[in-house]
Amino acid sequence: MHNCGSRVMRVATTALAVWLLVCAPAAGQTAKERYQDAQQQDEKVRLLLTNFKDKTPATELAVQVAQVLTSFEALVRRFPTSGYADDALFHAASLADAAYQRMSRPEDRDRALKTYRWLVREYPRSALIKQANAKIARLTKTNAPPVPPSPAPPARSLPALVATPPVTAIPAAAAHAVPAANVTLETVAPPPAPALPAERATLTSVQRTVLPGSVRVTLEFDREVAYREQRLSGPARVFFDLNVQVTPALADQVLSYNTDVVAKIRVGRRPEGTVRVVLDLENVPKFSVFTLYSPFRLVVDAERPVATTVAAPAPAPPAPVEPTGPAAPPIESREAPLAPPVQETPPPPPVPAAANVTGGFSIARQLGLSVSRIVIDPGHGGHDPGTTARGLNEADLTLDIALRVEKLLAKEPGVEVVLTRRTDVHIPLQERTAIANRQNADLFLSIHANSSRNRNASGIETYFLSFASSPEAEAIAARENSTSGKEMHELPDLIKAISLNNKLDESRDLAGMVQESLVTTLKRSNKDVRSRGVKKAPFVVLIGAAMPSVLAEISFMTNRQELALLKTAAYKDRIAQALSNAVLRYRKSLKGTSAATVDR
C-alpha cells in the first residue's frame, strides 16, 4: 500500500509542465508584449500588497512579488536597448520598494536599491533618473521611517530608444594617446557623496584575472555599494569613485603588472573621504562593467585587440637628425621607443561535440549548441526547511553550497550564473524551473541533501527526469515533491510532460558527470563515500525545463558521519568544486573551452 501511494504521489505531483509552458513568456514575444504582461502582473500584486495583512500570507505574497520582478528584469536582459527597458527597471524597483514598506523584509529593500542603481547606471539619459536617485537616497538613509508604497510609473504608449549599450568602445587613438599636461585625475570633480549608513562598506580585495581574449579586474566588497564610473583618454584609463573604506593592505596601493591590457590598478583615498580605483589601460578596444553578488563584486572585463597581420615590412626609418631645439621633456623620451607588436597565438580550431553516452549525437550536439547561462537551484527554503538534523537544515546547507558554486563558475569566461534564491525564502517547485526558462538558461542544476529512515544509508546519487525505476527513487520523489500543490486531475498532463521530455540524453549525460565528479572529489575527504549511481525520477522541480536538468543528492543528512562532514567548510568547498567541475566538463563536451589563469 505504501508503494502504491508513493507511486500515485510521485506522478501526481508532476503536473507543472503544461501549465508552465503556457504561462511562461514565449520566446517570440516583443519587448512591448513582455512589458504589458509584466505590467498586468504588477497591478495585481500591488493590490495584494495593499491588503496583504488581511488576506494574503506574507510568504506567498513575497513569491508573487519575486515573480513580477523577474519578469521585468528578464525583459531588460532580453531587450537592453528597448525604450521599455528603463521603465521596466523602474517598475521592478518601485514594486520591491513597496513590498519593503509593507512587509519590512530587508531583501526587498536590497532588491529595490539594486534595481534603482541598475537603472541609473545603464540608462543615464532616462527621464526616470531623478526619481530613481531620490528613492536611492531615501532607502539608504539610516532608520528611515516607512513611506507609502511607490506608485506605479505611467504606462508608455510609444518606446523612446535608449542608446546606452553596456559595452563601451574606446577609440583606437585614445588607447595609444600621449598623456596631456592638462589632464590629471584631480581635474575630475568627485561625485556628491550618496546618503549611506553610518558604517560604510569596505573594499576587501582586488583581483586581476587573465582570461582568453581579455583581462578581468574584480573589486570585492563586504556589501553592495553605489559607484560612479568614468572613462578618460590621454592616457586611456577608467576609474570608479566609491563611498567606501578600504582594508589597510589596499590603502593607497599601486598594483603593477608586467603584462598589457591592465598594466596598473591604483587605489587612492580622496580628501572628501571617497575612494578612487583607477585602471590604467593599454591598447584596449572595448571593455564592459557589471556586478555580481554574494559577495558583492564590481567586475571590469577589458578586451584584447584582435591580432592583425602586417602585409609587408615597414620602410626603413629616415636617418637621425641632430636636434636643434631644447631637449625633449622626460615624458616624450619615455614614449619614443616603440614596443614590439604583441604576438597573439591564433585560437585553436573549433572542437566538435563529443558523442552522448549512448554513442549517438543528440539534436543539441548535431546543431553545435553550447552552454553559457547556468541556473543553480538551492533546494527548499522558507517554511520548507527540508531535512533537519542536529542543528543543520537542508535549505541552509544547499544555499551555502550554491553560493560557493556560483563563486567558482563566475571566474570562468563566458559563463553566467543565476540562482533561484539567495535568501531563506520559499520558492514553489514549479517556479524554480520557470525562472530558468524565463532566463533562457542552458543548464539547470538543483542541489539537495538526502535522508532515510535507515540511519546507515549513505552516499551520493544524481537524478534526471523520467519515471522512477526503483522503490527508493519513488520514495525520494514523493518526499521532494511534497510541496508541489498539484492535484489528481492534472495526472494526464503530468504523464504527458514526463513522456515528452526531449532533453533526456543531455540530462542523462550531465547527471553522469555530476555523479562521477562528486564521488571522485569527495573520496579525498571521505574514503568510505558510496556512489549510489545515476537514477531517474519524476521530480516536479525538473518538469518543464527547456534545458538539460538534473537533481543532485549530495550526501545523507541522516547519516551521522556524512552530517559531520557537511557541517565543515572544507567539505562544502569540495562539493562546490565537484559540481563546478562537472558543469564545466559537460560544457566542454559540447564545445571545447580554454582555461583561465589568475593573478592576485
Q: Looking at residue 376, what is its pLDDT?
A: 96
Question: 70 near 418, Cβ under 8 Å?
Answer: no
Last residue of a domain, one of 277, 303, 329: 303
Helix (H) or strand (E) holding 255: strand 254-256
Of 72, 139, 85, residue with least CA distance to 107: 139
Shared domain check, 418 and 280: no
Cα separation, 5 vs 387, whole angstroms: 21
Q: Looking at residue 437, what is its pLDDT?
A: 83
Cα separation, 167 vs 191, whole angstroms: 22
Q: Looking at residue 146, what is its pLDDT?
A: 47
Of 554, 555, 557, 561, residue with least CA distance to 389: 557
Question: How many domains is the chain built from?
Answer: 3
Strand partners, 281: 262
Shared domain check, 532 and 415: yes
Question: 69 near 77, Cβ under 8 Å?
Answer: no
Shared domain check, 126 and 183: no
Cα separation, 368 vs 347, whole angstroms: 18
User: Which residues, including other chains, have CB under 8 Å from residue 585's CB and lie 6 or more apart?
Assistant: 513, 517
- Do the domain assignments include residue 107? yes
Last residue of a domain, one of 303, 318, 352: 303
Of 445, 475, 450, residue with least CA distance to 460: 450
Q: CATH no. for residue 90? A: 1.25.40.10
Helix (H) or strand (E) holding 575: helix 569-590
Of 243, 240, 246, residue with least CA distance to 272: 243
For residues 527, 533, 539, 541, the Cα torsion angle rounded to the nearest 10 degrees is 50
- Do the domain assignments include residue 456? yes
Query: Which cell numbers hold the place of 384?
Result: 520548507
Shared domain check, 42 and 171: no
Shared domain check, 192 and 107: no
Shared domain check, 296 and 220: yes
Residue that has been written with the C-alpha cell 559607484 in this structure: 227
Q: CATH no. for residue 296? A: 2.60.40.3500
Of 280, 165, 296, residue with least CA distance to 224: 296
Shared domain check, 502 and 376: yes
User: Which residues, including other chains, have CB under 8 Å from residue 159's CB and lie 6 or more apart?
Assistant: 31, 32, 82, 83, 84
Shared domain check, 519 and 425: yes
Cα separation, 400 vs 419, whole angstroms: 12
Cα separation, 108 vs 396, whole angstroms: 19
Q: Looking at residue 306, what is its pLDDT?
A: 66
Cα separation, 175 vs 178, whole angstroms: 9
- Do the domain assignments include residue 6? no
24: left (phi over 0), alpha (psi -120 to 50) or beta: beta
Name the residue range of residue 442's domain.
365-599
- Do the domain assignments include residue 256? yes
Shared domain check, 413 and 266: no
Q: Looking at residue 552, what is its pLDDT?
A: 95
Work out the angle at residue 558's Cα, subtended by the Cα atoms of residues 556 and 562, and round it to the nearest 5 degrees. 50
Tell me the torsion sign for CA atoms 43, 47, 52, 53.
positive
- Do the domain assignments include residue 9? no
- Do the domain assignments include residue 403? yes
Total H helices, total E strands in the chain? 17, 20
- Do the domain assignments include residue 30? yes
Q: Looking at residue 269, what is its pLDDT?
A: 85
Shared domain check, 450 and 547: yes
- Do the domain assignments include residue 310? no
Neighbours of 144 (CB within 10 A): 12
Q: Looking at residue 45, what is its pLDDT?
A: 84
Q: Could you write out the DSSP letters of every residue in 257-325?
A: -SSSEEEEEEEEE-TTS-EEEEEEEES-SEEEEEEETTTTEEEEEEEPPPP---SSPPPPPPPP----S
Low-confidence ranges of the chain (pLDDT < 50): 1-27, 55, 142-198, 308-312, 314, 320-325, 327-339, 342, 468, 483-486, 488-489, 491-492, 494-502, 592-600
Cα separation, 15 vs 308, whole angstroms: 56
Q: CATH no. for residue 542? A: 3.40.630.40
Cα separation, 237 vs 187, whole angstroms: 14
Shared domain check, 177 and 217: yes
Say what the pTM is: 0.41
Shared domain check, 492 and 398: yes
Q: Looking at residue 116, what is its pLDDT?
A: 92
Last residue of a domain, one of 283, 303, 323: 303
